[in-house]
């Protein structure tokens, strides 16, 4: 553990020693009107653009211009196989086997496709358990699945609440819910890292518990992918989904990832929605053959995918692969630890970090609750050149991202927060 210190000098020294510091130059950092870097703390919402993204996208634009439809087979990176260029690197980041991972569609779409396969309600066992403070899209998706199967979306939903006056979830409370209602629950769907508190749940422990009660277990890892070591294969989860535009820096609305555990990935009897891209690659273009399902997570694809979006994902994944995820995690822990230290030095009883203190139970994001504050605090920060995220009623979320944020960023962020608080 680093011995943190409050002065700017300390931050500058850490940046000098940081072997990943130069990667900041490989990103476009948003600037203010005077051309100074803004303090960008919202990589948890939209990751910054790697400078090499343009070249990757232009390669495909150029091949399309030169080759038209022939680009499917003749492009430098033949489009027919383009998703395969992403699989290995993505699998490493989420801790899965390549055949368990596919990049396709967008996050909420993948969530629905996974529920087509893994939410198989019966009259006795039809409920879905989510965290009480789930990301709204996930909640809406789950409610619509309940209705789709003819169930009442209020009766069918079981919420895992935090305790009164607390924000974080206790595993023991989940145990109690399962003990009482486990026999009614068809699916447990949780945010691997909660978007609001930044709490990183123990995926393996939850999966084991859920499976004891014969529930299917899936995770939304939108805030986990590229941020924490998810070890999806080892977790034993039935499925997981995540987007690539947050910590994975692939651009607004870019394609999402999907994990199907190997014990299901090769199960051809599992119910699913299909299209021509779930069909055997060798005979896909014969067009008249009977359906022949692709094995592995690839078999959940429906359509031929948007290559330009995949090119942006590839640019980002190549960077991750060059850096090495372990190094990123080490820096992430040091950087967020420093952030936490500085916040804890502020003498103000209204400030509380609601993210877990244990670095193993969080990623880089800290959610800072400021009692009696309202959005004007966030507006002050914005005016001082900080891009952060405000969540009603009183929480500021900041995510120092190890790929492009510096110790100096964190130092200046906290100085500006202090200034905003004292005004």
Binding residues for ligand PLP (CB under 6 A): 106-108, 135, 137-138, 191, 195, 220, 222-223, 243
Distance CA 400, CA 398 (A): 6
Question: Closer CB to ligand PLP, residue 182 or residue 400?
Answer: 400
* Min CB(363)–ligand PLP separation in Å: 12
CB 258 → ligand PLP: shortest distance, Å? 12
Quote the tokens at residue 292: 């022949």
48 versus 417: smaller Cβ distance to ligand PLP: 48
CB of 66 to ligand PLP, least distance (A): 33
User: CB of 199 within 8 A of CB of 168?
Assistant: yes
Among residues 314, 224, 228, 251, the alpha carbon closest in space to that of 48 is found at 251
Between 207 and 420, name the residue whose CB sits nearer to ligand PLP. Answer: 207
Q: Of 141 and 215, which CB lies nearer to ligand PLP in the complex structure?
A: 141
CA distance readout (Å), 281 to 276, 301, 313: 9, 12, 22
**Edge-to-edge strand order for the sheet containing 185-191?**
101-104, 256-260, 239-243, 216-220, 185-191, 127-131, 157-160
Q: What is the DSSP string of 6-31?
A: SSHHHHHHHHHH-TTGGGGGGB---B
Distance CA 117, CA 300 (A): 10
Instruction: State how far the Cα of 272 lies from the Cα of 114, in Å rounded to an integer.
Output: 8
Q: Which is nearer to ligand PLP, 262 or 389 (CB)?
A: 389
Cα gap 118→112, rounded to integer Å: 10
Tell me the closest approach of the beta carbon of residue 42 to ligand PLP, in angstroms. 12
CB of 104 to ligand PLP, least distance (A): 12
Residue closer to ligand PLP by CB (options 222, 373) is: 222
Q: Shortest distance, CB of residue 223 to ligand PLP, whole angstroms?
A: 5
In order of 40, 291, 420, the CA distances from 403 in angstroms are 12, 44, 27
Smallest distance, ligand PLP to C-beta of residue 44, A: 8
Distance CA 329, CA 401 (A): 10
Nearer to ligand PLP by Cβ, of 4 and 245: the residue is 245
């Amino acid at each position: 553990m680093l011995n943190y210190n409050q002065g700017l000098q300390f931050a500058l020294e850490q940046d000098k020693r940081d072997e990943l510091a130069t990667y900041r130059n490989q990103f476009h950092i948003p600037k203010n009107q005077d051309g100074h870097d803004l303090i960008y703390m919202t990589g948890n919402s939209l990751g910054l653009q790697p400078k090499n993204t343009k070249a990757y996208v232009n390669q495909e634009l150029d091949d399309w211009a030169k080759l038209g439809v022939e680009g499917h087979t003749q492009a430098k990176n033949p489009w027919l196989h383009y998703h395969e260029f992403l699989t290995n690197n993505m699998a490493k980041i989420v801790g899965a086997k390549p055949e368990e991972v596919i990049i396709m569609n967008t996050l909420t779409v993948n969530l629905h496709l996974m529920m087509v396969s893994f939410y198989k309600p019966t009259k006795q066992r039809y409920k879905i358990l989510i965290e009480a403070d789930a990301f709204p899209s996930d909640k809406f998706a789950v409610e619509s699945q309940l209705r789709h199967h003819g169930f009442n979306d209020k009766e069918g939903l079981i919420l895992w609440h935090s305790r009164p006056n607390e924000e974080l979830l206790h595993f023991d409370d989940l145990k109690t819910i399962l003990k009482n209602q486990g026999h009614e629950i068809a699916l447990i769907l949780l945010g691997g890292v909660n978007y609001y508190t930044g709490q990183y749940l123990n995926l393996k422990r939850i999966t084991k518990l859920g499976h004891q009660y014969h529930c299917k277990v899936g995770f939304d890892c939108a805030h986990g992918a590229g941020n924490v070591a998810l070890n999806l294969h080892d977790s034993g989860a039935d499925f997981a989904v995540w987007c690539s535009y947050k910590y994975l820096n692939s651009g607004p609305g870019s394609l999402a990832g999907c994990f199907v555990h190997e014990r299901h990935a090769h199960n051809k009897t599992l119910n699913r929605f299909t299209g021509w891209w779930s069909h055997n690659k060798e005979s896909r273009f014969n067009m008249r053959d009977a359906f022949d399902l692709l094995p592995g997570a690839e078999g959940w694809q429906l359509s031929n995918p948007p290559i330009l979006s995949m090119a942006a994902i590839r640019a980002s994944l190549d960077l991750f692969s060059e850096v090495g995820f372990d190094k990123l995690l080490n820096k992430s822990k040091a950087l967020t630890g420093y952030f936490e230290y500085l916040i804890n030095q502020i003498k103000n009883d209204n400030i509380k970090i609601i993210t877990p203190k244990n670095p193993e139970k969080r990623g880089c994001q800290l959610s800072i609750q400021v009692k009696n504050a309202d959005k004007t605090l966030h507006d002050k920060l914005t005016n001082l050149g900080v891009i952060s995220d405000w969540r009603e009623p009183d929480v500021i979320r900041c995510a120092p991202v190890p790929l492009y944020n510096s110790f100096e960023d964190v130092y200046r962020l906290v100085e500006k927060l202090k200034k905003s608080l004292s005004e």
